[in-house]
Each structure stands twice: as structure tokens, then as C-alpha cells.
Structure 1
């Protein structure tokens, strides 16, 4: 009994979320739409419950209602699927670059993408040091004033904003997210010059000495350029003041 207790999750799921996901999971390959009766049969939920869940799912773009009252999957499902597919393909390219950065600098390397007003840690390779910032893959952090957030904000618009020359690359910040941690970040581009994400190094401020920063800057810039090529993009020609 004690062993079973240890295996249970620390937190229980939310029943309404479980039911909503059950409705989405009822759709199968080849389904264009499903009637309320078909959804009830496949999910085991009563029709009134499905209708209430469908209102929320429609509001968030996961379901759409047809003229005959049937339901179909909507654009948000496609968006999430596209993100998943993209991240799955990217892993083979991004992770080796992160691991090489860790090997060359001894500090934590990570790859972030923007999700609304948050930055999402998509991939990460930890520093061998015990003292490091403990962010996990999948963690979403605010778009604050950190180097990573600055990159994700500044380089998403195309063409590049006029103030790109004033940013300085890599962007370096100290204590922006955590008072004891510093970070530096570079943009990485994919096809059609679209921003793929931010490649970053982070370390405790005690190790981010001016000498350590100077040594890491060219390594991070080199890695960002190499990863941009791997992802099918091209690193823009920065104005001279942005590269110095």
C-alpha cells in the first residue's frame, strides 16, 4: 500500500478539464464533424455536459459548430499540432548545439520560443555545476526585461525594427529574472527569415565575470549562426554597432 501511495501524483487533475479533453479526443482520423449524439456515444458524457464544454472549447478556438449543429475541430488544434510538429523536428538540430555550448562554456544553454506574453523553454542542457538556475523544459516565464525576452520581442517583426543597431548582440542582462542570475541571448532564424527562437546561456552572477562574458559572447554568436543554418534560415547582416 505504501508503494502505491508513493506512485500517485501529488496533485489530482481537474474534472472539467478531463471532460473537455475527452471531447477533443473523441475525434478520430477521417472525422470531418461529429454530432452531439456521436460525441455522447464516444465519450460517455451526457449531452448537456458536452454542450456546456463545447461553449468553452468554441470560445478558445478548439471547436467550431456547423450549421447542422455538428461539431468540428477548429484552428487552435491545428496551431498546437503545428507547434508540436515543429518542435519535434527541431530537437535533433537544437539539442546538439546546446550540448556543445555547455561543453565549451560550462554554463547552462537553452532555447526559448515566444508564446503570447510568455517565453517558453523548449529545450535545455544543464551546466555541470551544482549552482545554476533551475528552469525546466516546458516552463513558461514572463516576457520580462531578460536578455531572452528582449530577443523574442525585438526580432519577431519582419523587417527588423530600426532600433536593432542599438541592442548589441548577444544581449546580456544581469539579475533581470533572478537577482543572482545573468543571461545572454542571440536570435535564431528559420525559413523565410522568421524568428525561430532565442538561444541563451545562463549562469550565476558570481561566475559571469567580465572575462567569462567576453569568452562566451563569440561562442554563443557562432552557435546561433550555425543553428540558423541548420534550421534553414540565414543570419541577417547586422549593422556594425549591433555586432560589437
Structure 2
């Protein structure tokens, strides 16, 4: 039995609500829906639905068939591919971050470039009570911090020989970090793998001791994402 959705109020973000009400009326198993079916499922009147369908067609989210029914279009497929790709990347990254935290005792993160900022996309916090308080989704400027430097490094530079970037007290006077850029199958920059911690614990000497851990993990992540490992010749292996 179909369950009617409450009619969105015509105020504030009502227009967006109504567009999404129509779009999410499609369910698994639907090949196409008639205007009458959309009316029943959404609780909206036909004239409103027709106006919304014009906007959805314009953005490639639905298409009108010759018999007058509507079906989801290619833009939905594209968005789904982006969603699936993001979760696939997460499946590769998160185990490496847990591994880095376990081996280094510090916080491990994966940063991506977001315009003029660097965004913490994934993070596994250090088990230490004294640690940096930053969460996935937080953004920082593209300054001289290690992760920012890594996110500005071309594949050619990394391929020529690169040891991890180290910074101390740049964005936060009490924080230090160590980072390497990660590249994909087409040698495109995907992000930066980062170890960070309090400056009094993650000293330059301690950072050098972690070069092997970070480099080996970066190579493992790069390989799992379809790229060619870069750091085996410039950093020592974990077992060295």
C-alpha cells in the first residue's frame, strides 16, 4: 500500500523540499512512473509536479518517455558513481590510517585539496589523551603545514625523489605533522597521507624515525588505489 508523504509547506526551502519529494518518490523496481503515480506517492498536485519535472529534466535527473511516464536519467547514474567511488576510496584509506596510528602512536589523517583550503577527509585519532582535536570535514588554510605542502606537490617532483614533509607550529603553535602526497592510476593527486601530533612529542627527530612507516603506508595505499608506489627508494621499510 502506498503511503502518502506530508505535503511540504510553501515557505523557506519549500521548493527544494518539493523537488526532492518528487525525485525520491522513485523506488527500487520502478522502471518509470506516470504523473498519476507521482501524485499519489508525493501528495503534491499534478500542476506542481509537472513544473518540478521540468526542472529535473533540465538538470538531467529525469527523462520523459514517449508514453508520458518519467524515469530517472543519466545524471542520477553519475551521482551514484561519485558516491560509490567515494566509499570505495574510504575502504582503501581507513585501514591504512588505523595502521599508521597503531604503528606511530599518533593521529593519522587523509587530506584533500578544497579550493584555497585543505580538508580533513578521513581521520583516526591517537590513543594518547594529549592529541590534536580535529575532525573529518574540518578545513585549514593552504599554508606551510606539511599536508598543505604535500597537496601542492606534482607527480613529477614526487617521482624524482621525495622524503616526507615535516612542519611544526605552522597552523597551530602546539602541533607538528609529517605528510606525503598520494597519487592515482593516472598520476593525479588524490590527497595527502598525514601523521600529526603535539609538537613536544612529534619532534623532528621522532618524525625522521617515522619516515619508513609513513612511506611504506603511502606506497601500500597508492598501490591499492591503482597507482605506482613512489617512496620505497627514498624511505626505509618498516622492517629496516
Deviations 1:99-154 (A, max 9, x none): 221122111001233455554434321101222222333x1525522433443343
Q: Does 1:210 align with 2:208?
A: no
Contact 2:182/2:192 (<8 A) preserved? yes
Corresponding residue for residue 221 of structure 2: 227
Corresponding residue for residue 109 of structure 2: 110
Contact 2:158/2:230 (<8 A) preserved? no
Number of residue pairs aligned between Structure 1 and Structure 2:
220
Structure 1, unmatched stretches of 5+, are 1-13
Q: CA RMSD in A?
A: 3.9
CA distance in 2, matches of 1:173, 1:57: 48
CA distance in 1, matches of 2:174, 2:54: 45
CA distance in 1, matches of 2:114, 2:56: 19
Give the CA deviation at 1:170: 1.6
Describe the shift of the 1:235–1:166 C-alpha distance in structure 2 as closer, same or farther (beyond 3 A): closer
Corresponding residue for residue 61 of structure 2: 63
Deviations 1:29-48 (A, max 9, x none): 46676666554433223456
Corresponding residue for residue 129 of structure 1: 128
Bigger Rg, structure 1 or 2: 2
Given candidates 156, 164, 169, the residue that maps to 1:170 is 164
Give the CA deviation at 1:212: 1.6
Give the CA deviation at 1:239: 11
Deviations 1:198-241 (A, max 9, x none): 2111112232312122112232112101221223321248998x
Given candidates 176, 181, 189, the residue that maps to 1:187 is 181
Contact 1:66/1:72 (<8 A) preserved? no
Contact 1:228/1:234 (<8 A) preserved? yes
Corresponding residue for residue 44 of structure 1: 43
CA distance in 2, matches of 1:101, 1:149: 19
Corresponding residue for residue 21 of structure 2: 22
- Name the structure with the higher helix share: 1
Structure 2, unmatched stretches of 5+, are 1-12, 235-240
